[in-house]
Amino acid sequence: MERRIDILDNVFAHFLKGSRVFRNREVLRHDYVPDYLPHREEEILRLGEITAPTLRGSPCSNVFIYGKTGTGKTAVAKFVLNRITQKAKEINSQVRVCFVNCRLAGTEYRILAALCSSINERVPFTGLAVGELFDRFRKSLESQGVILLAALDEIDALVKMRGDTLLYELTRINESLNRSKVSIIGISNDLKFKEFLDPRVLSTLSEEEMVFKPYTAEELQDILMERAKIAFHEGVLSEEALKLCAALAAAEHGDARRALDLLRVAGEVAERRGDTKILEEHVREAQKRIEHDRVYESIKSLPTHSKIVLLSALILSRFDSDHSITGEIYNLYSELCEQLGMSPLTQRRVSELINELDVMGLLNSRVVSLGRYGRTKKISLGIPRKIIIDVLSEDEILKDMLNYKPRFLSSLQ
């Protein structure tokens, strides 16, 4: 008995002592905004210069920020808004600041509710019409006589979901305000987003424009080094591991989020193995895990018909890979739909789904000639079978179909 207690004591002691790898894991989370953003000084300065007039009670130009994912747009915008908020308190300025992520907010209602709450206008969680909410927002602004600096992050999500009515109203709101003004910082990583916008909205929204470039491997190294100082105990992160994280993330497209993910997961791999130094091998393992999770998530979030197409390719690959041509996939897909009581899409639509799965890397398709019978596509799986089976066996609709025996195969063999 005593021995057992001793063993547990060790477990507790080890746990209480904390990690031997991480000093502060929190700073590697996606929403952490560091105090220092290496290689974004120019962007911070420019956004600071553009928005500074709001501190004196004047509206500033609207700004449109775009750049690829992980280039620091959200971090820079939050950083500057935090500083404006701080300064406003110090000098008792009438500026109000609001940061909304449009994708997470999800609806126009919630975006407007966030804007209202930033000017202390209480609104119910639901129940009002969007137009009504907008009027309350406008009235409240006007009665308070304030400048509102509103950052709309992932603004493309708003427009893709709901069209640009709300943006249109927001960009026009100043025309009907006398004592107050709204200035907007719009942020997007979708470079084609501009094409979706009404030209009038676009021109108002992008009075100023900022483009964030992808980070180079060297820049990512500096970013990682700064974060590693607070995230890990001294001497834990090897230089080679740090360089590899930066190089791998730069090879994709200079994405700081990816670089930080690699660093965090590499730390977790080392910790789990009981190692106290993070080496290149931990980073390689981290890369595999992240890739696995990415593929897993991308399959999981596919629409049902795409999942059935993938399942068809999976089932066919069990038999003879030569049989996986578009026609067979379609036959099996239709059979599966019938079994599931769903109506199948047209062959043409299924071909499009196959192309999409190809672009995502989940299927490989290659055009082959069938001699005088024309051409078809030969299709194989782009990823290990196991991962598809793992995802689909958790799918309520499709899990029972994993071992389905195709009827039409007997006629082919």
Ligand X SMILES: Nc1ncnc2c1ncn2[C@@H]1O[C@H](COP(=O)(O)OP(=O)(O)OP(=O)(O)O)[C@@H](O)[C@H]1O
Q: Tell me which residues touch ligand X (CB under 6 A).
A: 30, 32-34, 37-40, 67, 69-75, 189, 223, 256-257, 260
Q: Which is nearer to ligand X, 164 or 219 (CB)?
A: 219
Q: Which residue is nearest to ligand X (CB)?
A: 72
State in angstroms the smallest separation of the CB of 77 from Mg ion: 8
Task: Report CA Rg, the chain.
Answer: 27
Could you tell me the smallest distance in angstroms from the CB atom of residue 301 to ligand X?
17
Note whether 406 and 315 are within 8 A (CB).
Answer: yes
At its nearest, how many Å lie between Mg ion and the CB of residue 353?
A: 29
Shortest distance (Å) from residue 268 CB to Mg ion: 24
Burial (CB count <10 Å: 0-12, 13-18, 19+), residue 54: buried
Report what 69 binds from Mg ion, ligand X, none; CB cut-off 5-8 Å by kind.
Answer: ligand X
SS3 track for 224-293: HHHHHHHHECCCCECHHHHHHHHHHHHHHCCCHHHHHHHHHHHHHHHHHHCCCCECHHHHHHHHHHHHHH
CA distance 50 to 52: 6
81 contacts 95 by C-beta, under 8 angstroms: no
CA quadruple 290, 296, 299, 304: dihedral, nearest 10: -150
> Of 65 and 97, which CB lies nearer to Mg ion in the complex structure?
65
72 binds, among Mg ion, ligand X, none (CB under 5 to 8 A by kind): ligand X
Residues 155 and 186 sit within 8 Å (Cβ to Cβ): yes
User: Minimum distance from CB of 188 to ligand X (Å)?
Assistant: 8
**105 versus 260: smaller Cβ distance to ligand X:** 260
Q: How far is the CB of 96 from ligand X (least distance, A)?
A: 23
Give the DSSP per-residue string, 292-319: HHHHHHHHHTS-HHHHHHHHHHHHHHHH
Burial of 78 (0-12, 13-18, 19+ CB in 10 A): middle
User: Which of the choices Mg ion, ligand X, none does residue 254 contact, using the CB cut-off of 5 to 8 A by kind?
Assistant: none
Query: Cβ closer to ligand X: 18 or 34?
Result: 34
In the three-class reduction of DSSP (H, G, I as helix; E, B as strand; rest coil), residue 369 is classed as: strand
Query: Minimal distance in Å, beta carbon 218 to Mg ion?
Result: 23
CB-nearer residue toward ligand X: 40 or 96: 40
Provide the minimum distance between the beta carbon of 43 and ligand X in the complex, in angstroms, as a whole number.
Answer: 9
Asked if residue 140 binds Mg ion (CB under 5 A), the reply is no
Residue 37: contacted member of Mg ion, ligand X, none (CB under 5 to 8 Å, by partner type): ligand X
Amino acid at 49: E
**Binders of Mg ion in range 144-203 (CB under 5 A):** none
- Choose among Mg ion, ligand X, none what residue 30 binds, the Cβ cut-off being 5 to 8 Å by kind: ligand X
Q: How far is the CB of 104 from Mg ion (least distance, A)?
A: 11
55 binds, among Mg ion, ligand X, none (CB under 5 to 8 A by kind): none
CA atoms within 13 A on the CB side of 399: 7
Q: Which does 34 bind (CB under 5 to 8 A by kind): Mg ion, ligand X, none?
A: ligand X
Beta bridge partners of residue 278, listed in sequence order: 237
314 to each of 123, 125, 303, how far by Cα in Å?
A: 51, 45, 17
The nearest distance, CB 300 to ligand X, in angstroms, is 20
Candidate list 74, 180, 221, 324; residue touching Mg ion; CB under 5 A: 74
Residue with Cβ nearer ligand X (264 or 377): 264
Rounded distance between C-alpha atoms, residue 413 and residue 409, angstroms: 6
Neighbour count for residue 155 (Cβ, 10 Å): 28
Closer to Mg ion by CB, 155 or 270: give it: 155
Which CB atom, from 46 or from 138, has the smaller least distance to ligand X?
Answer: 46
71 interface partner picked from ligand X, Mg ion, none, CB below 5 to 8 A per type: ligand X
Q: Counting Cβ atoms within 10 Å, is residue 51 exposed (0-12), middle (13-18) or buried (19+)?
A: buried
Residue nearest to Mg ion (CB): 74
Tell me whether residue 74 or residue 324 sits nearer to Mg ion (CB atom). Answer: 74
Binding partner selected for residue 59 from Mg ion, ligand X, none, CB under the kind-specific 5 to 8 Å limit = none
Closest Cα to residue 171, out of 97, 65, 62, 66?
Answer: 62
Q: Using CA atoms, how far apart are residues 100 and 185, in angstroms rounded to an integer?
A: 10
Comparing CB distances to Mg ion, the nearer of 103 and 378 is 103
Binding residues for Mg ion (CB under 5 A): 74
